Every structure is written in C-alpha cells, then in structure tokens.
Structure 1
C-alpha cells in the first residue's frame, strides 16, 4: 500500500493476521495509527517511511525483524518489543528518549536527525549484537559505554557531546574490542585490511592528545603481543 491515503488499519487487536509477514505503508502521509499487531505471529518487516502524520507507534511482536520509521517526523511515542528485531531505523523522528528493551539480536540502530533525542538508556551496552549505531545530528549529551560488538559509530554534528570525553570512550572501546581482533587478523594474514571496524568522530578532527594516546596504547599492545 505504497503512498496510500489510509488513516487507520482497522481498530483493536487484529485476529486474522496470522499469515501476515510484511506491512508496507511507505509514504502513507495520512496514516495516524497502527493497530495492535500482537496476533500477527509471523510478521517480520514493517515499512513506515515518511508516514508524517503518525504520532505514536507501539509494536509488540515476537517475530518482527526489521522496522523502518525513517522520516516519520511527527513520531514522538515509540516502543517495540521483539526478541528477533535486527534492524531499527528511527531517523528523523521526534522521539525524546530511547530505553532499549531486550533486543538481543539487533545489529543496526539509526537515530540520525532525531533532534529531540537527548538520552539513550544505559542498557544500550547490553545490546550484544549491535554492529552499527548512527547518532548523527542528535542532541545526545553523553555516552557512558558502547556495546563490545559495535563496528561503526557515527556521531556527526552531535554538538551536545563533549568531544574529548567521547573520543576517550571510543578510543577505549577500540583498544578493548577491536585492536586485539585486528592484530590477530594481521598476524594470520599480513595483507589483511579491515574496512569495517571504524568510527566517525564528531567535529572535524581527532585531538592531538587523543591521537598520541591512541598511538602509545596501540604500540604498547603490539609490543606486549610479541613478548
């Protein structure tokens, strides 16, 4: 139902959706409500891109794997309960906070352009499968810890984040989680080149002090690995 004129998808709990796997309402600008989908036991994907009239979204599904709500510019209230969720895109919404539920399999989370977002729950560190996190152009003021599985962090133009502290956090994460892995890959294969584990720092540069610290710590690690 691409670019439909729908405002609602029926009312109440949906009893006859047991075979439904995909909801595709891309560009349905008049949509104001998504019903209770808890009975859609095989639902895997929901596309709600640019459903600009949607103000709240609460999805409870045991089988949901991918949810795309990018560009839902009126979306303020949000929750998703699914232990199977792997990809979640809330870019361009107006959510104010995110408290990650139990999302043990999530690998991709985009909060880009969520201008009202100032806080991410501390339990984000427990998202043990998260590989990509995009916080670009949000007003998040602090990051306390990062999941050890994280490979790509984007925090472009996050002007509320304190640059030096954030760079120290990312550096610590790189040293603890990625450099041992990269180092081992290099020992196994001297031609190895890792194009996946990297970070985009806020601002336009890495401070010299942080770069010196990174270089020193990396050299210490490399030396200790050879002993």
Structure 2
C-alpha cells in the first residue's frame, strides 16, 4: 500500500479499497489515515494559529490553498499573510461575517480590499499603504487609520460608514480620483482636500449630519461631480465651488440650503445644477454667469418666489424644471431669449397665464402645465400649434387643470393642436359630469390637408 501511495511524492493520488464485506477494508483505511493525518492536521492547526482564527484570513488562505500539495501549504505557512494582495468579500447570504480588525496587520501588500456585510467590533488600526482600491460598505470606525496614506489609492468608497471625519489635517493622496461616503450618517465635516490634486468625483449624498464643507474643495480643478443631495443640515457651501475649472454637475437636491451664493465669475463647464427640494427664496442676479448650464432643476423649491431677469444669459439652457414651486407667480419675459430651451415644466406653480416668454421659445418641445388653473389653457390655445407655427410643442400636459367639457374641442384631430402635438393630455374634473381621465391623450400628428393624407 505504501508503494501505491508513494508517500515521498507530492502528487495527489486516489486509491480505491474494494472487496467483500469482512475482509478488513475499513481496518486498512484506518491504518492509512492514522499514518497520514498528523501531517495535514499539523499544517491546518498551524494555519489557524497563524491567523489567530480570523475568518477573513482563513477564507483567503483556504481559497488559495484548495487543491494544492503539501509543499504549497508549507510555503504559505512560512510566508503567512504578507503576500496577500487582494480580498473581495461580498454579501454573505447565510450569515454576517465577523472579522477581527487585527487581521489587517498581517497584510502589508494588500492592493485591493472590497468588503460588504462584514461586522467588526473594534476600530480599524491598520490598513495597507499599498491599497489602490478600498471599497468597504459599512466601514466601522470613526476615522481611517492615522498611518493610512497609500500613494497609489485611486478609489475610496465607504458608503454607510460610521466615519465622523475621514482624516485629520492634510493627507496626500495624489492619485485619488473618487470619494464616496454616501449614507454616512455620522459624518459632520469633510477633510482638507488640498493634497488630493486629481479628485474628480465627490459623493456625499444622504449624510444627514454633514454641515461643513472644507474650503479647500475649491482648489480641486479636476473635480467634475459633487453630490450633496439629502444633506439636510448643510446650510451653505464654499461659493467658489461653483466656478471650479472642470465642475460639470452640482447636486444639492433636498439639502438644507436656504440661499444660493453670489456667482463671482462666469463658469466654464457647469452644465447641470440641481437645487430641487431646497428652501431657497430667490436666486442672485449674478446667476446669469452660469452660462454653460443645460439643465436647471428647481422642482419643489416651495419658497422660491421669483427668477432673476439675468436668466436670459443662460443661452445653452435646454431643461428648466419649476414643478411644485407653489409661490412662483410668473417667469421673466427675458426667458424668451433662450432659443435652446426644449423642456419647460411649470406644473404646480401659481402661474395662471401662459408666460409672455413662451411665444418666443421656438425650440420648445415639452410643456408641462399640470395642476394649473383653467386660465392656462385659454391663454395657450391660440399659441400651441397655430397656423403661424408659434410653438412647435410636441408634448403638452394639462392634467388636473380643472378643465370643463366646453374647454375641449369636440374633434381634436381637426384642430391645429393635433397638427403640432404628438402627445396632448387633458385630464381633470368637469363641473357637469364628474371626473374623467385622459379624455385626450397620445393623439398622433395629423398632417395638414395640403399633404393629401393623414397619419
């Protein structure tokens, strides 16, 4: 049997023991087991002892050594965890993985760490300075380790963490491009960003206690996105952030912002500004310096009572959302100079007449007037799809405008409205017949009679 097993070889061998019952097959197997098991038991016990029972380390070693010969086990035992370069632990379906924070002290060469649904009951005292990507959903400590300063770090993702502040003072992360601490409810302030010369994306949304943005954020020229949505305690932010050299998208939706800061100089790249759900009452006259805006979202700004006349300077604006601005009674006539505007949403405002500016918006394709008064239809009916082609609107929404039967043409397809509209929605309540919904909706374009046919 020893010759068959070739115990001096490192090859894996399978030997079948077969025969009639009672001839001693089990006895032979037991003898072989007792002869061999001490060698593997020793290695296994030494491995467990080396990692002090840390489950994350055992998972990594187990997956690495599965199917390997004894030499590989012994080699790994000698090296320990110092050569581990990557760990990915995703959701544990059966149970939450409990991790001892000390296990990271062995992993000096770790370059990738991605963890989700792992519980750590102690502060993280050490993380490898070789890390290039750190993604830890639910990071358990108030700060990153004081010794943590990897020069090759590209991504720092700590969503739903317990951090109060990422680090104290200045830390140099020269290649860091993205920080995501969204949902970190204990985060009070951001760190000093002055040594992060390549940061492009900063995600701070849903950080309910965040109230201070470090002024060094204005020095980040590569920054293209800042998301501070749902930061309900954030009342202000450094005004120069708006004019950062490459900033394209600024999201302040449902934040605690009550006023928008003065814009000090024309912006060069800001194209999307989301102020929806904030408590701002007006916008500064300098707002017109945001000359590259293509989207302005002011939805549900319930305190907003006016727009500055300087809005006419937003010559690239394509989408303006004012839905739910219930204190807004009118929009300035100067809006009509924005020939790029294709979508205007004034639903749920206090506007009761078609704004004078609308007649000049020759590129307007979508107009939402839901939840306005009947007057809005009367003031629009001679503009939308008129024979003079005043408005090229394709989608018009008049739902819940309290229209009555007499307001609606009997044969919509014979009107100029149908000729100009792909979608024409009129929904609401009549005085005589109770409620009805979508009496007219999705009416196809009807070409003029000179075309000789209808679509």
What is the Cα deviation at residue 44 of structure 1? 0.6
Give me the CA root mean square deviation.
Answer: 2.4
What is the Cα deviation at residue 103 of structure 1? 1.7
User: Which TM-score applies when normalising by structure 1?
Assistant: 0.77
**2:344 corresponds to 1:153:** yes
For 1:212 and 1:119, the matched residues in 2 are separated by: 26
Please, which runs of 5 or more residues in structure 2 have no aligned partner? 1-180, 391-455
In 1, are the aligned partners of 2:348 and 2:369 still within 8 Å (CA)?
A: no
Corresponding residue of 1:55: 235
What is the Cα deviation at residue 209 of structure 1? 5.0
Counterpart pick for 1:200 among 348, 362, 368: 368
Corresponding residue of 2:252: 69
What is the Cα deviation at residue 132 of structure 1? 0.3
Please tell me whether Structure 1 or Structure 2 has the larger radius of gyration of its CA atoms: 2
More RCO (CA 8 Å, sep 6+): 1
In 2, are the aligned partners of 1:64 and 1:84 still within 8 Å (CA)?
A: yes
Q: 5 Å matches for 1:77-226? A: 77-79=259-261, 82-99=267-284, 100-138=287-325, 139-144=327-332, 145-146=334-335, 147-159=338-350, 161=351, 163-166=352-355, 168-170=356-358, 172-174=359-361, 177-178=362-363, 197-201=365-369, 203=372, 206-208=376-378, 210-214=380-384, 215-218=386-389
- Worse-superposed segment, 47-56 or 98-107: 98-107
In 1, are the aligned partners of 2:353 and 2:379 still within 8 Å (CA)?
A: no
For 1:95 and 1:209, the matched residues in 2 are separated by: 29
- Worse-superposed segment, 125-134 or 198-207: 198-207
For 1:157 and 1:209, the matched residues in 2 are separated by: 17
The C-alpha deviation readout for 1:167-214, integer Å capped at 9, x for no partner, is x431x124xx23xxxxxxxxxxxxxxxxx8221125165433531354
For 1:213 and 1:32, the matched residues in 2 are separated by: 47
SS where residue 207 of structure 1 aligns? helix
User: Which TM-score applies when normalising by structure 2?
Assistant: 0.40
Please, which runs of 5 or more residues in structure 1 have no aligned partner? 179-195, 220-227
SS where residue 6 of structure 1 aligns? coil
Aligned length: 195
What is the Cα deviation at residue 101 of structure 1? 4.2
For 1:84 and 1:151, the matched residues in 2 are separated by: 20
What is the Cα deviation at residue 83 of structure 1? 2.1
- Worse-superposed segment, 74-83 or 131-140: 74-83
In 2, are the aligned partners of 1:107 and 1:132 still within 8 Å (CA)?
A: yes
For 1:53 and 1:96, the matched residues in 2 are separated by: 17
